[in-house]
Amino acid sequence: MKQELRTTKIASDLTISKMINGMWQVAGGHGDINPSSAISEMFLYHDLGFTTWDMADIYGPAEQFFGEFVKQFEKKYGPDKLNQIQGLTKFVPNPGPMTHGIVEHYIEKSLKQMNLKSIDILQFHWWDYTDTRYLDALHHLYKIQNEGKIKHIGLTNFNTDIIEIMLEQGFNLVSNQVQYSIIDQRPQVKMTHMCSKNQIHLLAYGTLCGGFLSKKYLAKPEPTRSQLDTYSLQKYKKMIDAWGGWNLFQELLSVLDEIAKKHHSSIANVSTRYILDKPVVAGVIIGTRLGLSEHRSDNLNTFSLPLDDEDHKMIQSVTSKSNDLFEIIGDCGDEYR
């Protein structure tokens, strides 16, 4: 398979996997993960070409797992091969004073935990837009970038209006990480146009709605609260409810299953490909429950799956019946504020 079908050049000096290994699920609420098993699993992902890892300073041991993986990888293959791994992390401070010392402290901590000299993409998140000290934080991040400790600066869950304020201030941004799925297509309302105009890539998470967009839930009764046994399922069940409810969701799964059978693939493949084909989407983040469950081989099938006009019309026939999540929730990231 051609490498360009599986990777995206996100900057002149950085190419990432189109399917990114998401490490939120190691933070808790998705089962207990054994550290040694987790590192062994990370090698298996890498060997199949899933070389990009997404984490955050608030994702429990995620940065430490990555750092240990880097350490073992260097020992096994040598320092010259380390550029085969891409490490993306997030800086998620509590709103408050953003001095250079405070920002630098957290970036240095991430660098140490990740066992890196420079972070490929530092993705900044800010909880409260009314506190404009997020601009102070960005100012300091760019100073740290100039020191070589950060290669590129991106964002996580910022809405279109706030990004435009940042752009007016002269900040250069390579990406914004947002929720984007067949269920949640809010990025198409405002975000993608602004990103296209300013050469900002989208990194999409929630593309499989925590596992709901899979055959496991096809033709199944609505799960009870006690059956939603991970944070992901609890989170995305609320999104499905807001979107249109379980009956409409079953209609969507039925259509996705029909498309999957036509292409000899899976519902998850169809759901992922649908978002990968969207404008300015550089990659989708698929959660990895390291050592607990994996879908690596099935995920690989996504790269060879072509969705045609008929497939898109079938999906649209269902999604056109759904509620307008942009109207209900707001722009990308507004659900966190």
| pLDDT > 50? residue 117 | yes
- Residue whose entry in the numeric block shows the structure tokens 């944070």: 231
How many whole angstroms separate alpha carbon 274 and alpha carbon 311? 10
C-alpha 18 chain-centroid distance: 10
Whole-structure pTM value: 0.95
- Residue whose entry in the numeric block shows the structure tokens 């934080």: 137
> Domains in the chain and their CATH numbers?
3-336 (3.20.20.100)
Sorting pLDDT into bands at 50, 70 and 90, what band is 298? confident
Query: For the segment 159-210, what is each residue's pLDDT rounded down to a tens digit?
Result: 999 999 999 999 999 999 999 999 999 999 999 999 999 999 999 999 999 9
- Between CA 288 and CA 296, with CA 291 as vertex, the angle to 5 degrees is 50
% of the chain beyond a pLDDT of 90: 87
